[in-house]
Structure 1
Amino acid sequence: AAAIALGASWATSGSTFGISNLAVLVLVFLSVVRTRLLRLVVTLVAAVALVAGGDIVTGIVVGRLAPGGAVLAALTQSLAVIGLPLLAGLFVRGRRDVREARNDEQQARMGQRDAQIQAALSRERAAMARELHDIAAHHVSAIALMSAVVDRQIDTDPLKAHLGVQQVRAQSTMVLDDLRRLVGLLRDDAGGERSVETLSTVPELVDRARALGSIELQILSPDGRVLGEGIGPLAQLAVYRTIQEALMNAAKHAPGATRVVQIDDRDDVHAVVTVTNAAPSGVVAASSSGGFGLLGMRERADLVGADLRYGPMSEGGWQVRVAVPRELPLRKTTTTRDVTAGPEANA
């Protein structure tokens, strides 16, 4: 367009050249808005030269200006024709770039928020999956083991089989109650009331688990101290579920073996809980697939900052050990109590 304007300055009047410059002005603005400035440097310099050449010709031929005055006027005119739309185009392009950057930032924030929501949902799903496993799988596994025992005793020892059926019924009732409590926690319109499962309620858990075999409970705690004092409720629930899972695993994979639950609450920094079972004395049923018990133990321990270790022992059997830190300072105590409850405690 600038070259055409230069040609028009030789063949036509000054008004025609002015109209041509107007076209150059519009095209410069559109080019700057649509194209990066670095790609237009050579083109803009050439346009300045062409417009200046046309202005010089028009000034000398039409305006009868002296060469020096024509050159000065041409430079001023060409810089105005190219510079003004250049500045306007840069302003419009800058506003557009800022708007696009804000849109991109908003999209990035929305993506980050969606990612955080998905991560939170994943954590909640994992937590619910652990809780459902600890509630349903524990009781259902106990019911399956009790049913197998009842099936063997129904002909040889009807009295024990009758007691076993009562235990199956009790386990079924407990799993329904626990599931109702869990659903109540998930519902907004429910009261969310449920029993608190802490280290103090472990003896009750052990009493129920004795239906599947012999268990020895050892509690090492200073006198005057509440069991699990200084340990948060979430950490105590994690330890409770770990004991529950370890006892059920021992009943399934080491039938007939004595199980020992020890709670060592004497240290002021952390409490240590171990669940140990000897080598199995009965026939171990083959498992069709690996469960999520150990994975759930690990996730709960990581959640509360506990140290979880498990594995086979050198003398045979299996041990699960979890050390959970205390969150609150303890009262000073001097004496220590040792409470040991063997299999006969169930009587």
Structure 2
Amino acid sequence: MRLRPFTVDVLLALGQVALLALVGPEASAVGWSELDLRGYGIALLVIAPTMFRSKAPLLVCLVTYGIWTVYVLAGYWPVATSFGPMICLYTVALQRQTRTTGVCAALLSAIWVLGSLLEDDPTSVPTVVTQAVGVNALVWRMGYLARRSTEFARRTRAEQQERARHAVVEERGRIARELHDVVAHHMSVISVQAGLAKFVFDSDAETARTALGTISGTSTEALEEMRRMLRVLRAQDDDGEVPDAPMPGLARIGDMTDRVRAGGVPVEFRVTGTPRPIAPGVELCAYRVVQEALTNVLKHARQASATVELHYRRDYIEVSVTDNGEGVIPDRVRSPGGHGLIGMRERAKLYGGSISIGPRSVGGFAVRLTLPTSARAAPPGDDTTE
């Protein structure tokens, strides 16, 4: 249970009273006037303000110093009530700037030395002066270090909160891109097939049934991917839950091209090199880039044909999607409010790859992605737009 500051201050004040009751009777034994009723009364006045040190540290410090000066000038033993002024100095050093706390430390040392000058034994003055300076400097230093530690902890918490806010923003962006990748491609295929089914519904029942079958399969796959992503988002860090369905990868690019081909766009899929296991994140990156590129073909170049090529190299893979559509449609290069092309570049950058996106010199459009499959490999090329 954490105590409130005022409760702590009251407990410290009671501790000072107990110390006064233990040490006060020893004053005469060390050569000071015996504490009488007046002395105990002034001592309690020295202690009383410290109960409010957390609320007004500087004011309480100055009031305590003033009453302690009266106590010392009255000829009473300063040590019996020195704990309160030192607590006040520590509190000021903890909450105020260095210049203010330095003045308070100097005042306390001066009062301490004043008490030594009132002693009958002048030979003890150098020792008392050394103690006054040394002890008060130590108290001041402890308060200063505690303040610096508190400020550092506060800055650290603020930085952690800022990093957490950035992480939330980045995660929202990642989710938005993932939703775009999952939904946009499948909805484009469904839209094309629905239009085809409607157009041939009365004249070509077989084609309409095929189109409806494609719509059914595509929508089922879209729902499975969305459920998988939602399971990932809902999974807790410590529950060990993992999605049932595997992340889409290179092996499913063929299925994707079949769907696009069923949507009316001729697509050729070629693989060169020897297929081999690749990190799931790299496979997902390549799959999503191909998905986005084919979605753009469906949206903007339906009359074109497309080619998807996957090349397995020694330390990296290359994936390209090209089409022979005529002209350059501005929306394919810059889509306001969209996440497609931005998502491609960010995915490639995340996995240390490079990507080029833009029109081809011979006509049409091309997306070329290079991703390293080895930590030692640095794939050629830069992240550019042709």
Tell me, yes or no, whether TM beats 0.5. Answer: yes
In structure 2, the residue matched to 1:167 is 214
TM-score (norm 2): 0.61
**Alpha-carbon distance, 1:51 to partner:** 9.2
C-alpha separation in 1, matches of 2:255 and 2:176 = 24
Please state whether the residue corresponding to 1:247 is helix, strand or coil: helix
> Across the two proteins, how many residue pairs are aligned to each other?
291
Distance change (3 Å), C-alpha of 1:309 and 1:268: same
Q: CA deviation at 1:77?
A: 6.6
In the TM superposition, what is the alpha-carbon distance from 1:109 to its structure 2 partner?
A: 3.6
2:358 to 307, 311, 326: 311
- The change in CA–CA distance for 1:81 and 1:284 in structure 2 (over 3 A counts) is closer
Say which SS state the counterpart of residue 311 (structure 1) adopts.
strand
Q: Per the alignment, do residues 256 and 79 of structure 1 end up closer, same or farther by CA in structure 2, a change over 3 Å counting?
A: same
Which of 120, 136, 141 is equivalent to 2:188?
A: 141
Whether the 8 Å contact between 1:230 and 1:328 is mirrored in structure 2 is no
What is the correspondence of 1:118-129 to structure 2 with a 5 Å cutoff?
118-129=165-176
Superposition deviation, residue 180 in structure 1: 1.9
- The equivalent position to 2:286 in structure 1, one of 214, 239, 248, is 239
Q: Name the structure 1 match of 2:102.
A: 37
Deviations 1:138-170 (A, max 9, x none): 212222232233344445655433432332222
The residue matched to 1:207 in structure 2 has which SS? helix
CA displacement, residues 70-93 of structure 1 (integer Å, 9 cap, x when unaligned): xxx76x576566554443322222
Judge conservation of contact 2:71–2:78 (CA < 8 Å) in 1: no
**Cα 1:49–1:324, aligned 2, differ >3 Å: closer, same or farther?**
closer
Q: Confirm or deny: 8 A CA contact 1:253 1:280 kept in the other structure.
A: no
Partner residue in 1 for 2:324? 278
Residue number in structure 2 paired with 1:219? 271
Distance 2:289 2:355 in 1: 9
8 Å contact from structure 1 (residues 138, 248) kept in 2: yes
Aligned residues of 2:231 and 2:243 also touching (Cα < 8 A): yes
Cα contact 1:232–1:327 (8 A) shared by 2: no
Same amino acid, percent of matched pairs: 27
Give the 3-state SS of the residue equivalent to 2:371 in structure 1. strand
Instruction: Decide which of 234, 237, 246 is 1:195's aligned counterpart.
Output: 246
Q: What is the identity, as a one-letter code, of the residue corresponding to 2:267?
A: I
> How much has 1:196 moved relative to structure 2?
4.4
Which of 90, 98, 103 is the aligned partner of 2:145?
98
Offset of residue 194 of structure 1: 0.9
Q: Unaligned 5+ residue runs, structure 2?
A: 1-32, 34-69, 93-99, 377-386
1:19 counterpart residue number: 73
Q: How many Å separate the matches in 2 of 1:269 and 1:169? A: 39
Q: Which structure has the bigger radius of gyration?
A: 1
Alignment-mate amino acid for residue 171 of structure 1: T
- Which residue, out of 191, 195, 205, partners 2:256? 205
Q: Report the TM-score when normalising by structure 1.
A: 0.67
Q: 1:269 — aligned with what?
A: 315
Distance 1:195 1:30 in 2: 64
Per-residue deviation, 1:201: 2.5
Contact 2:113 2:128 in 1 (8 A): no
Residues 201, 109 of structure 1: CA spacing in aligned structure 2 closer, same or farther, 3 A cutoff?
same
Is 2:306–2:322's contact at 8 Å kept on the other side of the alignment? yes
Distance in 2 (alpha carbons) for counterparts of 1:183 and 1:46: 70
Task: Verify the 8 A CA contact 2:73 2:115 in the aligned structure 1.
Answer: no
CA contact (8 A) 2:185 2:291 kept: yes
- Stretch deviating more after TM superposition (188-197 or 307-316): 188-197
Structure 2 counterpart of 1:260, from 294, 298, 307 = 307
Please state whether the residue corresponding to 2:262 is helix, strand or coil: helix
How far the C-alpha of 1:276 sits from its partner, in A, is 0.3
Q: How does 1:293-304 map to 2 (within 5 A)?
A: 293-304=340-351
Compute the RMSD of aligned alpha carbons. Answer: 4.1
Residue equivalent to 1:131: 178
What is the alpha-carbon distance in structure 2 between the residues aligned to residue 316 and residue 171 of structure 1?
30
Q: SS in structure 1 opposite 2:243?
A: coil
Cα distance 1:18–1:186, how it changes in 2: closer, same or farther (>3 A)?
Answer: closer
Q: Secondary structure at the match of 2:325?
A: coil
Higher deviation after alignment, 241-250 or 285-294: 285-294
Contact 1:32–1:90 (CA under 8 A) maintained in structure 2 = no
Q: Distance in 2 between matches of 1:285 and 1:312?
A: 12
User: What residue identity is the alignment partner of 2:251?
Assistant: S
CA distance in 2, matches of 1:28, 1:328: 63
316 and 21 in structure 1: CA distance in 2 versus 1, 3 angstrom threshold: farther
TM-aligned CA distance change 1:260 to 1:28, over 3 Å = closer
Aligned AA (1:313) = R
